[in-house]
Structure 1
């Protein structure tokens, strides 16, 4: 059953995602320090500032919730919480630092392992995607409805090359890289592309908000074996994922999975 409080949480996330987006844009205009963290991933002053802002404001709003963010040291106490904020202060930091537009602020509330409220701000485009479980998803007041393509031929896809190559062999067209993984899947939810892929080792903060957008827009996001992602586990990483409407989702899952089993892609 839809929960009315999930609408309250959605609106809270949306307001703070937009504030955080404005903060990040201000850093981008003024210039900022950038460095490399563990795993050779870039991080900027804006990532840290936005993370601290969101942690404070969300913690004040719902002090009983757990917290998981890309830019905060993991606190295992989150595992004991039924409800957890899952946050990527800037998803697509490489694009953000390079002055490219395809980065987002990704916020979600996960309850019992699945997202129930989400907001994904795309500050350069001036739009925010929102969703609450059982209440639909929208952007700028427009309901999100994913495409329901019947076959792979002619489908527009985005994601890691090893996975898009498999789709291209079946007749799809691959787009250039969309740096924010959350935005890649949000574009599927919005019907702007047919399908998106994620390689191995994506994290909860990359996925949770977009997962709910996709679900509420009538599409699917699963592993190659059809398993739905579960969030707030001890190790918050995920295996390769396929995101699309039906029946394209099942077709791509089979095509990409078969190529991987035969060792045609890496």
Structure 2
């Protein structure tokens, strides 16, 4: 067990509380046509709910842990975070497109990252009444019940939540071995679906960010799965660049098959 296990357990309790409060705020805007803007850099949407949830998280978390750094999708990046050994990595609403479209598969994502790896994480999906959480030395939980990645029979098709344009890269001889599950816009929620065994795995297109991944990464890891890059290595967070290349996520059997079924970069 990590020597800091008690510390991460306390941090997990803190981020669960903060994420639940932020989720209540976001849910108050859900289905009510909140004001939406479009970011100039990548033309992705952001709503008034994102900012309100972000403000709640930033206030609660940094008041409780003033020595921690801060990285959030909805806050201007402060490179001072690079000098902090521990920081919060936050997406106040992961799946904003789903949120503004009235779909329930969006979540508040909060992680504690220490020396480049997540050590505690929570995903709160208030419209679904779901919470996923995990910390080093503890099991992954969904609504306080332990979860684990899938363990299918060898002949079962591989259940993947991927976009249709990714599935076309599956090699022809393996296409009958893959069952596509409807794509879920929230990347964090897709990884949570992998953690609880709803699906076997997913492919993450290039240019995901730390805030999309960190909380779900520790949850998936503690559920027995992995999130890895094209080389099969675990991700490092809180670098100068917070973007990532093509990633694979899943239970061990799924990662083995994904390496066999698809090229290293199925989106390039």
Deviation for aligned residue 1:150: 6.2
Partner SS, residue 115 of structure 1: strand
SS of residue in 2 equivalent to 1:31: coil
Shift of 1:30: 4.1
User: Which of 5, 14, 17 is residue 7 of structure 2 equivalent to?
Assistant: 5
Query: Taking structure 1 as reference, are residues 70 and 151 closer, same or farther at Cα in structure 2, changes over 3 Å only?
Result: farther
Q: Residues 184, 152 of structure 1: CA spacing in aligned structure 2 closer, same or farther, 3 A cutoff?
A: farther
Residues 107-116 or 127-136, more deviating = 127-136
Deviation at 1:165, TM superposition (A): 2.8
For residue 247 of structure 1, what is the aligned residue in structure 2? 253
Q: How does 1:3-152 map to 2 (within 5 A)?
A: 3-38=5-40, 39-149=42-152, 151=154
1:34-66 CA-partner distances (Å, limit 9, x unpaired): 111121010100001111111111000100000
1:195 pairs with one of 166, 190, 201: 201
TM-score normalised by structure 1 residue count: 0.93
Q: For residues 239 and 150 of structure 1, do their structure 2 counterparts lie closer, same or farther at Cα, with a shift above 3 Å needed? A: farther
**Alignment partner for residue 206 of structure 1, among 194, 209, 212?**
212
Q: CA deviation at 1:164?
A: 2.7
- Superposition CA RMSD, Å: 1.7
Structure 2 unaligned segments of length 5 or more: list them.
Answer: none
Equivalent position to 1:222, from 218, 224, 228:
228
Kindly tell me: are residues 15 and 157 of structure 1, through their superposed partners in 2, closer, same or farther at Cα, counting changes over 3 Å?
same
**2:171–2:262 CA contact under 8 A, matched in 1:** no
Structure 1, unmatched stretches of 5+, are none
Conserved? CA contact 2:228–2:248, under 8 Å: yes
**Residues in 1 aligned to 2:169 and 2:229: alpha-carbon distance in whole angstroms:** 16
Query: Mean Cα displacement is larger for which, 142-151 or 127-136?
Result: 142-151
Q: Is the 8 A contact 2:33 2:100 kept in 1?
A: no
Checking the alignment, whether the CA contact within 8 Å between 2:105 and 2:184 is kept in structure 1 is: yes
Stretch moving more, 17-26 or 80-89? 17-26
In structure 2, do the counterparts of structure 1 residues 167 and 123 end up closer, same or farther at CA, with 3 Å as the change threshold? farther
Give a deviation string over 1:202-247, Cα, whole Å, max 9, x none. 0000000000011000011101210111000000011111111112
Conserved? CA contact 1:152–1:252, under 8 Å = no
| Aligned counterparts of 2:80 and 2:210: Cα–Cα separation in 1 | 16
Match of 2:190 in 1: 184
2: CA distance, partners of 1:210 / 1:237: 16
